C-alpha cells in the first residue's frame, strides 16, 4: 500500500535558516494536469453552496468556521500599501520606504477623488477616513514594508514583490480559491513563494500552507508547483514551509474540500 508523505519544515526565522530553506528546496517540477483539475471540480460540485464560495488558507486553518465581516483598518490595509510601496521603490531607487508609502497612499486617494474607487474598496475607505486614521495607516504600512524589505534582503536569491495574490476559480463549482503570496523567488524554471503573516502560527498552519501551495499551483498557467512554499511569522520568529510535491498538493486539495464540507455542515446546523 502506498503511503502519502507530506512535508512540513519548522525553523527559527534567521538569515541562515532562510538560506537553508531556499537552497535545499527539491528540484524537478511537479505539475497538476487537466485530470487533476477535473477531479477537484467534481469534489467541490458535490458540496452544496447557497452562494459563491471563497476559500483560502485562513478558512482552512479555522476549519471553515464563519469569520467576521472584513473591514478596512490600519492593520488590514498595511499589506496592500506596504507591498505596493516596495514595488514602487524597485522602479524608483531614490525613494525611501516612508516616501514610497506616502506615494501609494496618495495614489489611492487620487483614485477615489477621480471617481474610480468602488464602494468598499481600500481607496474608498481611505478617502472617508479622518487624518488621524490616515496617520495610523501610514505608520502600519511603513512597519510592514520595512519588515518585508528586511526579509527580501535576507533571502539568498533575487526576489520580486508579488503584484497580486494567486486566485483560481473552480469551473462550474461556484468556488474561488485564493493563496496569499508576498515574495517570489525564481531560479531558472523553478520558483519559491514566500508568504508573511502576523501573530503566531497555530497547529493548523501546516494545512494552511499546503492549501496555499495547491492554489498557487492551480493558478499557474501550466499547473507547475513551486519548489517550496514558505510561510513567515516575523513577530513569532518562526518560519514554516512545505514542498511542491504531489503528496502535499493532494493534501492541500483535501484540506480545501474538507473546509467546504465543514462550512456546509455549519450552515445546515444554523438553519435547523
- Look at residues 118, 138, 154 and tell me which one is the last residue of a structural domain: 154
The domain of 209 spans 9-65+157-271
Asked whether residue 244 falls in the same domain as residue 180, the answer is yes
How many structural domains is the chain composed of? 2
| Residues 6+ away with beta carbon under 8 Å from 150 | none
The answer to whether 101 and 88 have CB atoms below 8 angstroms apart is no
In a domain, 108, yes or no: yes
In a domain, 262, yes or no: yes
The answer to whether 247 and 6 have CB atoms below 8 angstroms apart is yes
Asked whether residue 79 falls in the same domain as residue 214, the answer is no
- Give dist(CA 92, CA 107) in Å, integer: 15
Q: What is the pLDDT along the chain (272 residues), one digit of tens a residue?
A: 345 678 999 999 999 999 999 999 998 889 999 999 999 999 999 998 888 999 999 999 998 776 567 899 999 999 999 999 999 999 888 999 999 999 999 999 999 999 988 989 999 999 999 999 999 999 999 999 999 999 999 999 889 999 999 999 998 899 999 999 999 999 888 899 999 999 999 999 999 999 999 999 999 999 999 999 999 999 999 999 999 999 999 999 999 999 999 988 887 776 65
Q: Global pTM? A: 0.93
- Please state at what angle helix 15-23 crosses helix 131-154, rounded to 10 degrees: 60
Asked whether residue 47 falls in the same domain as residue 130, the answer is no
Length of the chain in terms of residues written: 272
Asked whether residue 172 falls in the same domain as residue 132, the answer is no
Amino acid at each position: 500500500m502506498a503511503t502519502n508523505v507530506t512535508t512540513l519544515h519548522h525553523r527559527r526565522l534567521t538569515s541562515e535558516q532562510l538560506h537553508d530553506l531556499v537552497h535545499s528546496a527539491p528540484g524537478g517540477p511537479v505539475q497538476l494536469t487537466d485530470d487533476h483539475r477535473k477531479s477537484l471540480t467534481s469534489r467541490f460540485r458535490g458540496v452544496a453552496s447557497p452562494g459563491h464560495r471563497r476559500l483560502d488558507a485562513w478558512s482552512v486553518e479555522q476549519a471553515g468556521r464563519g469569520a467576521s465581516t472584513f473591514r478596512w483598518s490600519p492593520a488590514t490595509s498595511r499589506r496592500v500599501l506596504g507591498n505596493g510601496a516596495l514595488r514602487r521603490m524597485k522602479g524608483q531607487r531614490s525613494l525611501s520606504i516612508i516616501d514610497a508609502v506616502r506615494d501609494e497612499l496618495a495614489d489611492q486617494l487620487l483614485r477615489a477623488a477621480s471617481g474610480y474607487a468602488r464602494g468598499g474598496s481600500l481607496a474608498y475607505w481611505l478617502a472617508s477616513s479622518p487624518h488621524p486614521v490616515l496617520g495610523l495607516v501610514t505608520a502600519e504600512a511603513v512597519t510592514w514594508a520595512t519588515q518585508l524589505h528586511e526579509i527580501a534582503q535576507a533571502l539568498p536569491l533575487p526576489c520580486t514583490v508579488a503584484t497580486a495574490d494567486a486566485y483560481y476559480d473552480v469551473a462550474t463549482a461556484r468556488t474561488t480559491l485564493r493563496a496569499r503570496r508576498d515574495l517570489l523567488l525564481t531560479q531558472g524554471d523553478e520558483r519559491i513563494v514566500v508568504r508573511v503573516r502576523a501573530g503566531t502560527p497555530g497547529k493548523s498552519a501546516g494545512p494552511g500552507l499546503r492549501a496555499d501551495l495547491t492554489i498557487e499551483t492551480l493558478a499557474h498557467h501550466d499547473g507547475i508547483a513551486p519548489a517550496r512554499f514558505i510561510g513567515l511569522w516575523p513577530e513569532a520568529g518562526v518560519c514554516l514551509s512545505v514542498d511542491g510535491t504531489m503528496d502535499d498538493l493532494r493534501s492541500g486539495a483535501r484540506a480545501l474540500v474538507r473546509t467546504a464540507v465543514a462550512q456546509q455542515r455549519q450552515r445546515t446546523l444554523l438553519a435547523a
